[in-house]
Structure 1
Amino acid sequence: MGLKFYLTCFAFLFIAPKITNAQYYGLCFTGHETIQEKRTGLDLSAADPLCFNNTFELSFDFSFMTGHTDYFGYIFRIVDQEKRNIDLIYDKSLEAKNHLKLVIGDKMSNIEFDIKLDKLFKNWYNIKLKFDQENQELILTADGKVYREKIPLKKNCYRISFGANNYKEHEVKDVPPMKIKEIKITEDDKLTHHWPLNEYTGLIATEKIKGKNAGVINPNWIRKMHIEWELVKSANVAGSASVAFDADREQVFVVTEKSLQTYDVKTEKTSIVDYKSGLQPMLYGNQSIYQNEPGLLNFYVDFSLMSGFNFSNNTWNSKYTGENVPTNFWHLNKFYSSADNSLYFIGGYGHYNYKRDVQRYHFKDKKLSTVKTSGDFTPRYLAALGATKNGAYILGGYGSTTGQQILNPKNLYDLSFYDVEHKTFKKLFELNPGEEEFAFANSLVIDEKEQSYYALTFVNHIFNSSLAMIKGSLKNPSYEFVGSRIPYTFHDISSFADLYYCKVSKKFVAVLLYYDQKANTSSVKIYTLHAPPEIQQAAHNIPSHFRVNWDMVISGVILLVIMYLVYKRIQNRKTLHVSSVKEQAINIQEPEPVNIKQEITDIPDDIRNTMFLFGDLQLFDRKGKDITKLFTPVIKELFLLILLFTIRWGRGVSSEKLEEILWADKSVGSARNNRSVSIAKLKLLLESMDSCEVSKETGYWKMLIDYDKIRIDYKEYLNIVKSKTDITKIKIMALTKIVSRGGFLSNAEYSWLDPLKYEISNEIIDTYLHMAASMKISDDPEFLISLADCVFNFDPVNEEAMAIKCQALVFLGKHSLAKSIFENFNKEYKAIYAESFNKTFQEILG
């Protein structure tokens, strides 16, 4: 470790937050919903065919998009030099038991399997196809299961495409609405090609290892969906229109004079119904709101006018018949309170005055009244409001301390909370706008559990403005710009913008209105953006709002100083003790060869603060008491999800992922409630163990574990197998001791766990065989026999293990036993593969 190491650590303090942001990527494929020329295709061999001399494997992550009716089509097509095609297709026919099928040439292979559509909608699945030249077979791995098909293979070059392609004689236009990412090719278990598909735009998919970039036609990049707002509806309607949002059905209502237009976010379709109650005059400055209980309402505060829409007969229950007088409460904020069954209106602007009024419309009395409030709240309009159970957050706006337009009006950036019960305003903090002043669209999207919010901002002193979304904290003034900008024509009272969020579709919705008073028409534009939005500073074309976090800088400097001092102290110790180490070294001897299975039973375990994941799951608390039985099935699966996502992948697991796996049959609200209760129970159970707790500091659920105090056999296992080049007999003994309890979570049957179980089994086999390959039979034949037996525990027909055992037995003079082992292997092999093993006993012995 030198100066470069410490500088790298220091830089990582600032770079790391950016690295973790780009989680959502891949390529979406447009299929039957559009014409053939516009369907998506990815050609890995766009420049040249991909050639392989040995066994190779293609792998990729795969899922389906929701909201489509036709999922038939080609996931991939592989064509060799002899023009033989190998295709993975999705067969949508109802009579098909297995919908995913491998086709070779013009015939169905024996490989077919099924992954339910609802699972493909929610999760990514890894699919691998190995071209095993040694055994002359295709091996497909999917959803934790392995399928084999004998096929003649040789050194060959291939054209490989996903979705649509224009290959001569092998053209494909039947494309399912799928998503693909993380395409990898390994040759002889060495990664040779990698296409992450994490592009934002363009017709090229970058290959990271050899530069063999892939070509893309009609791409739909997932990252782009999390950065760029998409215009999904644009229309001109009669009168001064207003908008409302049904969060449960994910529908945007555009209320016009003649009709109600409903845009469905899930189906991306618009329905229009004319009012049977006749023309509904929309007063200049009216607004609308939707709540499940009162329904769709259109209101005009100045005249205490509140009209309700009846969806069963398409009529309004009242209408205004007087003169169209401009409102005195432009751009007011509103929210519904279920606590007192009332609609609240806050602020606004009219007749050269900014308002701080809080007005309440009580549905039972059908009366509008002014609420007497306390607390500091500056008169304003152009603020953003987000409702909660007990009140509402109000962010920013434009106004003045006196309320008068002529007395120093300015942009406001305070976040306040209005408490319905106590009728009080409480100022929480102020944002720092940076160099560019801005105001806000009408609504905040509040996430109380994450203690964050989203808001649309815009520069309010220019006509050709634009909307930019920020994500901020409810705890402190920090915020960041996310997503791209939306063009926004801002002409004060003629313009209106609002922001909504669809929990099921996971999309933000921005609605823009512009009223042309002369033509008496409104322009309506609806945009959507996939959540979570990605930080895209370059797309904003605005000054950076990055501010140095001095706490982080100071902490980083202190940390680096400590690391440096520790480093120097270690170096000094090494210098002082080098001679004694050399003297001791001459007495160190290689341990005598021992039988692995004998060794693993010699040392008793201290089971306090221990987690066993191999064999049956077992947890022992700080006193050595088995607490496993205290875990209900749901708590047990929740615990394993968080633990394994922490240890194996490091990042932890998101709330959404937990809800998808554990509570997929529940509503969003119910799933979150179940998650909160289960997490609380899990935390309580883990209190009986030292230095082990559940945390969500990074935004993901993780286990905070001190491995010096908590023993986890899976963690020990990973430390052993992570470097096969450094495997020793002692490590092999430690590995065998771990796996002697049984397979990894042998009695846990979870679909999400199957790929990890398969991975671990392969790693264990590879580790044993790597150790065996590093030795000669004459070195230690008994030890090699034990290694082979360990492999057989995970793969009873492993050819390499059988050969090692037979050769070792022959070396020891046990020819009959070796022959018996070979014959038993043949029987087992034939029982599994329905064919005889293709080598003789003499060929095995070499």
Structure 2
Amino acid sequence: MGYRIIITFILFFTYTSQTFSQGLYIKGNNSLIDDRTSYNVFDKVIPTFKNILTIDFELVVEDPRSRGSLVRIKDEKVGAVYNISYNGEGNNPVFKLNHEGKNTLTSIPFDKDILNENQWIKVRVEFDMQKDSVKLRINGNEASVQLTQEEKMWKPVIYFGRSEHVIDVPAFKLCNLTITDNEKAYNFPLNESDGEIVHDSNRKVIGHVTNPVWLINDAYYWKKKPSFSSDAVAGSNFNTETQDIYYFNEDSITIYNIRTERTRSRSSKYTNKCPMPMRLGTNFIDYKNNRLYIYEVADPPQGDIVISYLDLQSYEWTAVTSEVLPMQLHHHSNYMDTKNGQYVIFGGFGGISYFNNFYSFDLSSQHWKKLSFKGDVITPRYFTSMGYNEADKNLYVFGGMGNKAGDQTVGRVYYYELYRINLDNHIIEKLWEIPWDKENVVPVRNMVFSNDNSFYTLCYPEHFSRSYLKLYRFSITDGQYEVLGDSIPIRSEKITTNANLYYNSRTNELVSIVQEFENNDIGSTAQIYTISSPPVTEAELTLYMSKPINWIRAIILSALGLIIVALIFFFLRRKSRHKKEAEVVLKNTPLAKPEIKEDNMPVETQPNSIYLFGEFSLIDRNNREINYMLSAKLRQAFFLILYHSIKKGITSQEFSEYLWPNKSYEKAKNSRGVTLNNLRKILGDLDGINLIHEKGIYKITFSDECYCDYLRCLEIVLGDSLDENMNEFISIISRGKFLESEDSSTQDSFKEYIESKIESTIHYYMEKTYTSGNYPATVSLCDSFFNLDPLDEEALHYLIRSLSKLDLKDEAKRRYYFFTAEYKKALGEEYSKSFSDLLK
């Protein structure tokens, strides 16, 4: 009995401390049979359970209308198989415990509304071998039945999802799996992020799963959802009650539902005309009355109405007031006090001043009121984060940027401090201020509180044009913090650009809306992101990736690696020799470089610039080329960090393993320190580029002062304005092959990455330029594509036809014969198409 109490206590502690960031998604009937998930809980060794066997887990059924087997429990000794199945067909979903192939032992109907809300469901099955009974519990509902079992010990084979001949499986999420008897407990956090092996809570390999989808990745990587654009000033917000994201302007509203992932638009279908022009898109939701308010605090562009609301049921606009505040307050923080019917704002920037006033707008009286407080004073600032904590009924303000004088000309200070504001007794209390030794950042307008006395907010270095948002979790008690998840890109060029963070309790996710305004301060795009809550750190994501080194295996793999590298080097050298021979032939009959239109092209070289296409070139602020300052090792280091900076950066360990794989930890650490210090000094000769180190991650960041053809190329390829940037793209890739003279193996992944990104774009432009009659540009594109694939037939087709259109048929024939010669060398056979075939 004592063991049972201890095990119960362990389970209680586990369930109260576990989170839903971990888990396994079981692919079911919505996937092909071979792609469905099969999770064998005890793959290595099957333990023996005495007298009682209890299996606890939690699940979410993806489609409430699905059906099939959830888990099978097999007693091989007596040849019995039991399973828990789900059937959501019809109006009454039901969970069943079955003696497989014989009969249903017991069943429990379930509330369809809970299933539709994707809430986690607690499941327990308990086989009592002493009392000859079995219990099934689904959330709080329990059913039991007698089940005679002669054996008092059981070595169960347990499968979740597909198992043997059982292929009818509903898709579902699984987490918090624990299997116990009176003496022992096996807990499976299911916090793997990759691979097919499953560990218990002691990090011991116990199980195996095929076709897994690990849920922890959803708690680290932000999911990019739809984006919406408007040519007119627009606002955005998230209604946590209806799950709707609103993106709206004066004429229309687009509504995206997070849960259903459906978008509906009421374009030009407001019941009446919006009574005020929108200038900044600032807004809030009155949940009590189901209204969306838009407002301006000062300087209405025209007319006198500055606050209006949209009824979210009838879509009718109502003008509220023309009352304004005495100053503009850009990037103020805000909170809607639904209980008291007031909207509270704090701080902001206007003119050349920072402010520290609290104002509240009373929805009943329709008047602004300045709030007065006792206690600590918050210095004037903007870019603060504010939120209301239901746990202690207090308002909190975090961070910001400003100064004590409130005068922008004095300079600015970044604040990393937290204030607690009691709206009932009007007292402000400063809780903490933490030191900050990294890149300065500012938070977004709002924060999300968790139940562990902490809060989340997004922070970013707003002083970079191409910046990134990172999710932080701060302790309310002492300010200790963690950086969670990967980053969200944001262009922080315009003061109207903003980002917001929300918590969606229905889906247990954090939601971010990043709204970027265009150069005219009018048009904007709102991009939606979600991440599972609670989010995790990189260390949690990669928990099982750091393993002890098996030296024998490492030596064997290293030897094999050296052989492969030698072979690759041999073939590349051979290929390079053939290419040089061909270049000599081409030089004897030179082709005049085609003329390309120079609209919107960047200058060939300019101060503070980096060129990676063709010959690598580093230009300092004085327009001097300083490539010579970078040794081979420094170049490798620079390219390695730059490549990983597009993603999440590179860890210290990864950096050392790439560049000093055979050195000891201490020697690699010393070499790393020297290399990075030298690299920082050299990059210090350029403006607008920074090598930063944060939480063990190295990353290179850029501002608009520094031009990098690689980044600009990616921006064009991944953007929405391909046609507008065609000439600039051609000028970039026409410099030559990416990192043309850099042959270190550390750059191979970098080269493959950019080549994969630009391949389809070159093909697109080939067709476009040829169709429009811009044959010189087509020739340049074909030459650039041959850097990626010298045997591409489509590029040859466009090249030959374009040269012929330019009356350069001799050159076309020479290029054709060169191609066929290379084709035969590479593939050992003649090229099948004749020159005349390509001209048809």
3-state SS of paired residue (2:411): coil
Measured in 2, the distance between the counterparts of 1:83 and 1:450 equals 47
- Percent sequence identity over aligned pairs: 16
3-state SS of paired residue (1:114): strand
Does residue 384 of the first structure (1) align with residue 395 of the second (2)? no
> Which of 268, 274, 290 is residue 267 of structure 2 equivalent to?
274
1:219 Cα deviation from its structure 2 partner: 1.5
Q: Which residue in the other structure is 1:69 paired with?
A: 64
Q: Which residue in the other structure is 1:219 paired with?
A: 213
Q: Which residue in the other structure is 1:239 paired with?
A: 232
Does residue 42 of the first structure (1) align with residue 38 of the second (2)? yes
Q: Which residue in the other structure is 1:329 paired with?
A: 329
Q: What are the residue-to-residue correspondences of 1:151-190 with 2, within 5 Å?
A: 160-164=158-162, 167=164, 170-182=165-177, 184=179
Q: Which residue in the other structure is 2:198 paired with?
A: 205
Cα 1:413–1:210, aligned 2, differ >3 Å: closer, same or farther? closer
Measured in 1, the distance between the counterparts of 2:368 and 2:474 equals 33
Q: Which residue in the other structure is 1:454 paired with?
A: 456
Q: Which moved more, 1:115-124 or 1:196-205?
A: 115-124
Gaps of 5+ in 2: 1-12, 543-840
Q: CA RMSD in A?
A: 4.9
> Which of 254, 270, 295 is residue 247 of structure 2 equivalent to?
254
> Structure 1: which amino acid aligns with 2:312?
F
Q: Which residue in the other structure is 1:488 paired with?
A: 489
Q: Which residue in the other structure is 1:522 paired with?
A: 524
1:456 Cα deviation from its structure 2 partner: 2.2
1:356 Cα deviation from its structure 2 partner: 2.8
1:246–1:291 Cα contact (<8 Å) kept? no
> Which of 125, 128, 132 is residue 127 of structure 1 equivalent to?
125
Measured in 2, the distance between the counterparts of 1:329 and 1:95 equals 53
Deviation digits for residues 611-651 of structure 1 (CA, Å, limit 9, x no counterpart): xxxxxxxxxxxxxxxxxxxxxxxxxxxxxxxxxxxxxxxxx
Q: Which residue in the other structure is 1:292 paired with?
A: 287
Q: What are the residue-to-residue correspondences of 1:639-788 with 2, within 5 Å?
A: none
3-state SS of paired residue (1:361): strand
Measured in 1, the distance between the counterparts of 2:254 and 2:177 equals 41
> Which of 398, 402, 405 is residue 402 of structure 1 equivalent to?
405
Measured in 1, the distance between the counterparts of 2:177 and 2:454 equals 31
1:179 Cα deviation from its structure 2 partner: 2.2
Cα 1:159–1:489, aligned 2, differ >3 Å: closer, same or farther? same
> Structure 1: which amino acid aligns with 2:401?
Y
> Structure 1: which amino acid aligns with 2:412?
P
1:205 Cα deviation from its structure 2 partner: 1.7
Measured in 2, the distance between the counterparts of 1:54 and 1:455 equals 46
1:443 Cα deviation from its structure 2 partner: 0.8
> Structure 1: which amino acid aligns with 2:525?
S
1:39–1:175 Cα contact (<8 Å) kept? no
> Structure 2: which amino acid aligns with 1:310?
D
Deviation digits for residues 317-350 of structure 1 (CA, Å, limit 9, x no counterpart): 35999xxxxx943211223346874433322223
Measured in 2, the distance between the counterparts of 1:97 and 1:371 equals 53
1:47–1:214 Cα contact (<8 Å) kept? yes
1:71–1:177 Cα contact (<8 Å) kept? no
Q: Which residue in the other structure is 1:508 paired with?
A: 510
1:163 Cα deviation from its structure 2 partner: 1.4
Measured in 2, the distance between the counterparts of 1:391 and 1:88 equals 46
1:262–1:270 Cα contact (<8 Å) kept? yes
Q: Which moved more, 1:24-33 or 1:171-180?
A: 24-33
Cα 1:421–1:150, aligned 2, differ >3 Å: closer, same or farther? closer
> Structure 2: which amino acid aligns with 1:306?
I
1:238–1:258 Cα contact (<8 Å) kept? no
1:241–1:282 Cα contact (<8 Å) kept? no
TM-score, scaled relative to structure 2: 0.50
Q: Which residue in the other structure is 1:348 paired with?
A: 348
1:41 Cα deviation from its structure 2 partner: 1.6
Q: Which moved more, 1:239-248 or 1:385-394?
A: 385-394
Deviation digits for residues 427-486 of structure 1 (CA, Å, limit 9, x no counterpart): 443233343422111012357x97543322223333343333333344x43232253133
Cα 1:346–1:313, aligned 2, differ >3 Å: closer, same or farther? same
1:409 Cα deviation from its structure 2 partner: 0.5
Cα 1:232–1:82, aligned 2, differ >3 Å: closer, same or farther? farther
Deviation digits for residues 799-845 of structure 1 (CA, Å, limit 9, x no counterpart): xxxxxxxxxxxxxxxxxxxxxxxxxxxxxxxxxxxxxxxxxxxxxxx
Does residue 283 of the first structure (1) align with residue 278 of the second (2)? yes
Does residue 114 of the first structure (1) align with residue 108 of the second (2)? yes
Q: Which residue in the other structure is 1:570 paired with?
A: none
Cα 1:38–1:522, aligned 2, differ >3 Å: closer, same or farther? farther
Q: Which residue in the other structure is 2:318 paired with?
A: 317
Q: Which residue in the other structure is 2:628 paired with?
A: none
> Structure 1: which amino acid aligns with 2:266?
V
Measured in 1, the distance between the counterparts of 2:404 and 2:169 equals 64
1:412 Cα deviation from its structure 2 partner: 1.4
1:88–1:103 Cα contact (<8 Å) kept? no
3-state SS of paired residue (1:301): coil
Q: Which residue in the other structure is 2:440 paired with?
A: 437
1:244 Cα deviation from its structure 2 partner: 2.7
Measured in 1, the distance between the counterparts of 2:47 and 2:427 equals 72
Measured in 2, the distance between the counterparts of 1:533 and 1:115 equals 33
Measured in 2, the distance between the counterparts of 1:117 and 1:405 equals 58
Q: Which residue in the other structure is 1:808 paired with?
A: none
Q: What are the residue-to-residue correspondences of 1:80-91 with 2, within 5 Å?
A: 87-91=83-87
> Structure 1: which amino acid aligns with 2:208?
A
1:297 Cα deviation from its structure 2 partner: 0.2
Q: Which residue in the other structure is 1:759 paired with?
A: none
Measured in 2, the distance between the counterparts of 1:192 and 1:333 equals 48
Q: Which moved more, 1:411-420 or 1:398-407?
A: 411-420
Measured in 1, the distance between the counterparts of 2:60 and 2:240 equals 21
> Structure 1: which amino acid aligns with 2:417?
D
3-state SS of paired residue (1:348): strand
1:379–1:400 Cα contact (<8 Å) kept? yes
Deviation digits for residues 770-792 of structure 1 (CA, Å, limit 9, x no counterpart): xxxxxxxxxxxxxxxxxxxxxxx
Measured in 1, the distance between the counterparts of 2:422 and 2:371 equals 12
3-state SS of paired residue (2:170): coil
3-state SS of paired residue (2:510): strand
Measured in 2, the distance between the counterparts of 1:524 and 1:401 equals 34
2:29–2:170 Cα contact (<8 Å) kept? no
Measured in 2, the distance between the counterparts of 1:282 and 1:481 equals 41
1:382 Cα deviation from its structure 2 partner: 0.8
Cα 1:416–1:84, aligned 2, differ >3 Å: closer, same or farther? closer
1:333–1:345 Cα contact (<8 Å) kept? yes
1:291 Cα deviation from its structure 2 partner: 1.7
Q: What are the residue-to-residue correspondences of 1:518-667 with 2, within 5 Å?
A: 518=520, 520-534=522-536, 536=538
Measured in 1, the distance between the counterparts of 2:81 and 2:15 equals 39
Measured in 2, the distance between the counterparts of 1:37 and 1:55 equals 35
> Structure 1: which amino acid aligns with 2:480?
Y
Measured in 2, the distance between the counterparts of 1:66 and 1:171 equals 18
